[in-house]
């Protein structure tokens, strides 16, 4: 479950991490009142569940309460990557001298939270990892002890933080680790950790993602969930009982079993396509589940074609084929669908698909190549 920046900062502040004073406004008038209350220049920051707010114009400044109101007027109602800005964080403007990065993420390989620290703050850590990986210091956290103060100090020292902010930064990193663990998070980051011209070190921006599986313990945080979390489709999928994750491509992906679906994403990418989503129908799915899944994936305007990849066990191939055929009338006209069936009921399913005039792949690679080629032909009007 994603949360907004202002909510992440509330959590950080609870663990003693310095943050700028600020409040949330839903109208320009509220933004003006908050700026007047703060009594200093402010930053108006869009509160949506996506990155890239600054590039989209979702972060603006106001040196006076009147300018704050004007800035909020411009930001509220703005569309950022498909999400409408309904509230803004009005917070004190700071004069930043240097920016750093502190982050903690769950690492499947080490099966532990991993600390990531860098002197290259203020930009996406993925970009730093790609271009200058040597600037990132990583260290797993031993869950028996958490991140101890001397370990935090060693990490920021190895990362090359200036000596005059080492102890402050180490204390913030240790507190971030405590917040991560006790909040059942799977991601917590401060980017940037700002060193201001007046010598303060504080979290200028914060991001926390809470593990859905821990929400039964995090009752307060569970109430923060909103329909537009991450993407409206993801929220609707959750309500409908579908295991769905929105991605950025145009190839809809449906499979049974997380491992098979992930492999399908990779195979589509290898064939030159870009997956639009992850959707796992699970085991034992009937025709109705396949029908619901296909029509749901097709609702994404980015989807130009759909690949269904099923390994039949308790999920029978003929049931999958029936669901695909049922969905035909509900899908956008001309949208290509390629189905790969293997295992229980595969032959029967392929026979049904053939009778309905639908394409199927002999294996995962063939199916992936077929859907990518079909989308390319459709876009060319062939």
Residue 240's CATH number: 3.40.50.261
Determine if residue 205 is labeled as part of a ligand binding site. yes
In a domain? residue 88: yes
Determine if residue 99 is labeled as part of a ligand binding site. yes
Taking CA atoms, 187 is separated from 142, 208, 212, 331, in Å, by 16, 5, 12, 36
In a domain? residue 9: no
Same domain, 240 and 215: no
Determine if residue 313 is labeled as part of a ligand binding site. yes
Determine if residue 54 is labeled as part of a ligand binding site. yes
Q: What CATH number did the domain enclosing 139 receive? A: 3.30.470.20
| DSSP at 57 | T
Same domain, 72 and 157: no
The predicted pLDDT at position 243 comes to: 87
Indicate which residue of 30, 151, 189, 319 is catalytic.
189
Q: How many domains does the chain have?
A: 3
In a domain? residue 178: yes
Determine if residue 191 is labeled as part of a ligand binding site. yes
Determine if residue 315 is labeled as part of a ligand binding site. yes
The predicted pLDDT at position 231 comes to: 66
Same domain, 79 and 123: no
In a domain? residue 7: no
In a domain? residue 227: no
CB within 8 A of 216, min separation 6: which ones? Answer: 222
Same domain, 250 and 367: yes
Q: Is 288 a catalytic residue?
A: no
Same domain, 237 and 186: no
Same domain, 164 and 183: yes
CB within 8 A of 27, min separation 6: which ones? Answer: 72, 76
DSSP string, 215-243: TTT-HHHHTT--TTSS-HHHHHHHHHT-E
> Cβ–Cβ contacts within 10 Å for residue 76, how many?
20
Helix axes 166-182, 5-14, angle to 10 degrees: 110
Of 64, 92, 120, the position where a domain reaches its end is: 92
Of 222, 244, 263, the position where a domain reaches its end is: 222
Of 92, 118, 148, the position where a domain reaches its end is: 92
Q: What CATH number did the domain enclosing 86 receive? A: 3.30.1490.20
Same domain, 70 and 115: no
Specify the residue for token string 């308790």.
Answer: 314
Question: pLDDT digit of tens for each residue in the chain (382 aa)?
Answer: 899 999 999 999 999 999 999 999 999 999 999 999 999 999 999 999 888 888 899 999 999 999 999 999 999 999 988 788 999 999 999 999 999 999 999 988 888 999 999 999 887 788 888 888 899 999 999 989 999 999 999 999 999 999 999 999 999 999 999 999 999 999 999 999 999 999 999 999 999 999 988 989 999 998 898 765 556 788 788 778 888 999 989 999 999 989 999 999 999 999 999 999 999 988 777 889 999 999 999 999 999 999 999 988 878 889 989 999 999 888 898 899 999 998 888 888 889 988 888 878 889 999 999 999 999 998 877 6
The predicted pLDDT at position 232 comes to: 73
The candidate with the shortest Cα–Cα distance to 141, out of 107, 93, 190, is 107
Same domain, 301 and 324: yes
The predicted pLDDT at position 228 comes to: 56
Q: Is 189 a catalytic residue?
A: yes
In a domain? residue 198: yes
Q: Kindly report the backbone phi and psi dihedral angles of residue 50, in degrees, each rounded to the nearest multiple of 5, phi listed first.
A: -140, 160
Q: Kindly report the backbone phi and psi dihedral angles of residue 210, in degrees, each rounded to the nearest multiple of 5, phi listed first.
A: -100, 135
Determine if residue 45 is labeled as part of a ligand binding site. yes
Same domain, 73 and 133: no
In a domain? residue 148: yes
In a domain? residue 11: no
Taking CA atoms, 179 is separated from 26, 115, 130, 143, 326, in Å, by 28, 13, 28, 13, 48
Same domain, 140 and 46: no
Same domain, 80 and 107: no
Determine if residue 94 is labeled as part of a ligand binding site. yes
Determine if residue 82 is labeled as part of a ligand binding site. no
Same domain, 294 and 358: yes
The predicted pLDDT at position 380 comes to: 78
Indicate which residue of 101, 195, 221, 244 is catalytic.
101
Range of the domain at 87: 21-92
């Amino acid at each position: 479950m994603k949360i907004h920046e202002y909510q992440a900062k509330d959590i950080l502040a609870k663990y003693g991490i310095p943050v700028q004073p600020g409040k949330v406004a839903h109208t320009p008038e509220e933004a003006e009142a908050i700026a007047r209350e703060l009594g200093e220049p402010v930053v108006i920051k869009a509160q949506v569940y996506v990155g890239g707010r600054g590039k989209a114009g979702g972060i603006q400044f106001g040196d006076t309460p009147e300018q704050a109101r004007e800035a909020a007027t411009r930001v509220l109602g703005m569309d950022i990557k498909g999400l409408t800005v309904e509230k803004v964080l009005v917070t004190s403007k700071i004069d930043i001298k240097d920016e750093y990065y502190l982050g903690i993420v769950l690492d499947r390989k080490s099966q532990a939270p991993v600390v990531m620290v860098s002197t290259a703050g203020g930009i996406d850590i993925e970009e730093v990892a790609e271009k200058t990986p040597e600037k990132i210091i990583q260290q797993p956290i031993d869950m028996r002890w958490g991140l101890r103060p001397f370990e935090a100090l060693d990490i920021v020292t190895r990362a090359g933080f200036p000596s005059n902010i080492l102890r402050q930064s180490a204390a913030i990193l240790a507190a971030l680790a405590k917040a991560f663990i006790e909040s059942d998070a799977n991601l917590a980051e401060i980017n940037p950790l700002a060193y201001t011209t007046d010598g303060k070190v504080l979290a200028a921006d914060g991001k926390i993602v809470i593990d859905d599986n821990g929400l039964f313990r995090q009752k307060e945080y569970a109430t923060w969930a909103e329909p537009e979390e991450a993407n409206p489709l993801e929220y609707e999928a959750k309500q409908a009982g579908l295991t769905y994750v929105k991605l950025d491509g145009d190839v809809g992906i449906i499979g049974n079993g997380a491992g098979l679906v992930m492999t399908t994403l990779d195979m589509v990418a290898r064939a030159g396509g870009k997956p639009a989503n992850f959707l796992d129908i699970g085991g034992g799915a009937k025709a109705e589940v396949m029908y619901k899944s296909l029509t749901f994936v097709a609702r994404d305007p980015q989807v130009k074609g759909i690949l269904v990849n099923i390994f039949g066990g308790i999920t029978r191939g003929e049931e999958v084929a029936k669901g695909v055929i049922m969905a035909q009338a509900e899908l956008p006209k001309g949208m290509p669908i390629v189905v790969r069936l293997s295992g229980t009921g595969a032959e029967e399913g392929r026979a049904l698909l053939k009778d309905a005039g639908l394409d199927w792949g002999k294996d995962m690679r063939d199916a992936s190549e077929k859907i990518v080629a079909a989308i390319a032909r459709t876009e060319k009007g062939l």
